[in-house]
Every structure is written in C-alpha cells, then in structure tokens.
Amino acid sequence: MNLEKLVAVSGMPGLYRMAANRSNGLIVEDLLSGKLKFASTRKHQFTPLESIGIYTDDGDTVELKVVFGNMLEQFSENPPVDAGSDSQTLFAYFATILPSFDRDRVHTGDVKKVIRWFSFLQENSLWGTDDDTEDAVTEPEESEDEPA
C-alpha cells in the first residue's frame, strides 16, 4: 500500500495527494474529484501519511502503513467500527488491530483519524499499487517517524 504522496492538510477535511511543491505551500489534488488546490504554508500544516507512526508500549512506533495493512487483513472478519463511536469501543477495536499500542499516548482523536482515513481509502478503492499489501502486514519495526 503506497502512502508516499498522500497528505493530511490541517484546516481541510479528508486526504490529498501532493501534486507539486512550491516554496510557499503545496498544490494538492482532491482524491475524489481530482481537482487541484493550493494550500499555503501560512494557513496549513501538512502531514505526509507515510511519516505517521502509532506509539507502542515498548516506546517505539509502528508505521501507519503497517496499521492499515493489519486493518485490511482483518477487514472481512473485523470491519472498522464507526469513527463516531465512544472511546471505549474505538480503543477495543484498535487493540485488535494493534495490540501493543500505547494506551496512554494514543488518544481517541488519533484512533478516529486512522479509522476515517482507512475507511475513506477503502470505500473509494484508493490503495496505491506500488507496494504489495502483503508487505505492509509485518511485525512492528523501529521507526523515528512522527508518532500519532
């Protein structure tokens, strides 16, 4: 699963593909409509999905790609819960996907974002083809990526 050019943009709902980089911002493509938008660095912060990690109990992080892979692998027997569910339900679901996540440092909002992003990509069949999904479902690796 290729998350390489996908970004979350603060102040703009959903996920975007980075189309071009400018000195004062990014030109992003809406994944559904294909429309291009300019997002200024003065108003927005950009978070590439490939740089996101989920804190684990051992102090490391697990790449979002691995978490998505686990969700995809378990999709038929354990579909994602609604992102609007209560925190206890969200954490119970997330514990089945990533049992070693750090319950003190991963917040309800983080779990909601992961579920929303996964559901968006799944519903719209937007998984990249550069990486094999089987490669994404691996043991957690050490990572120095930005934790969630």
Identity of residue 116: R
In a domain, 122, yes or no: yes
Read off φ and ψ for residue 118, nearest 5 degrees. -60, -50
> What is the DSSP secondary structure assignment for residue 111, as one 8-state letter?
H
With a cut of 80, say whether residue 147 has pLDDT above it: no
Average pLDDT over the chain, rounded to an integer: 86
Task: State whether 44 and 87 are in the same domain.
Answer: no
In a domain, 1, yes or no: no
| More confident: 18 or 133 | 18
Gap between the Cα atoms of 47 and 45, Å rounded: 7
Write out pLDDT tens, residues 103-120.
Answer: 999 999 999 999 999 999
In the chain, how many domains are there? Answer: 2
46: β partners: 9
Task: State whether 24 and 68 are in the same domain.
Answer: no
63: β partners: 53
Residue in 53, 46, 66 with CA at minimum distance from that of residue 145: 53
In a domain, 17, yes or no: yes
> What is the DSSP secondary structure assignment for residue 51, as one 8-state letter?
G
Task: State whether 23 and 94 are in the same domain.
Answer: no
Gap between the Cα atoms of 97 and 53, Å rounded: 14
With a cut of 90, say whether residue 137 has pLDDT above it: no
Do the beta carbons of residue 15 and residue 116 sit within 8 Å?
A: no
Task: State whether 71 and 123 are in the same domain.
Answer: yes
Give the burial string for 8-42 (b: 16+ CB within 10 Å, else e). Answer: bbeebeebbbbeeeeeebbebbeeeeeeeeebeee
21: β partners: 26
> What predicted TM-score, i.e. pTM, was given to this entire model?
0.80
Which pLDDT belongs to residue 135? 44
Q: Which domain holds residue 87?
A: 53-147
Task: State whether 131 and 102 are in the same domain.
Answer: yes
> What is the DSSP secondary structure assignment for residue 101, as one 8-state letter?
B
